Amino acid sequence: MSLGDYVRYLRAMKGGPDYRIIEAATGVPCRTMREIEQRYRRVGENDEDLQKLADYFGVPVEELTWRREKWRKLLSEALYTAQTEGRPIRLILRDGPTFEGRVLWWDLGATELELSDEGGRVVVQRHAVDDWTL
């Protein structure tokens, strides 16, 4: 899950405060929040801002910092590579399950895997993917 997707999830879990409320509570500018949530590339360069957001949302700052390296386009690249090269991909979901298999199709919202172990199929929504490996 990208940093932006995770921050959006944390906002939802906190009742959906808007950017102005977060800015008033943390000092993190609204434009920074917009950039974090809406960019498809690496964002969140300012560790001080990430620490403030981590404190506000009650999570370890590491939960934010490692996600800088998992921006949305990288998942697209991994799915594309797995599909075109016929390699299995492992998708680790935010709530715990892990699925590994061959990519049958993917788009910006979901992907379908033919599972390696069970021989079945599963459709996974991209926003649920916390991490992945090829």
pLDDT in tens, the chain (134 residues): 888 888 999 999 999 999 999 999 999 999 999 988 887 667 667 899 999 999 999 999 999 998 888 877 889 999 999 999 999 999 999 888 999 999 999 998 899 999 987 779 999 998 889 999 99
pLDDT for res 40: 65
In the chain, ranges of CATH 2.30.30.100 domains: 72-133
- For residue 113, the surrounding DSSP H or E stretch is strand 110-115
Q: Does domain 3-69 bear CATH number 1.10.3120? A: no
Q: How many CA atoms lie within 13 A of 127 on its CB side?
A: 9
CATH label, 72-133, candidates 3.30.465.10, 2.30.30.100, 2.170.130.10, 2.30.30.140? 2.30.30.100
pLDDT for res 68: 84
Sheet with 129-133: strands ordered across: 121-125, 110-115, 98-106, 89-93, 129-133
pLDDT for res 41: 65
pLDDT for res 23: 96
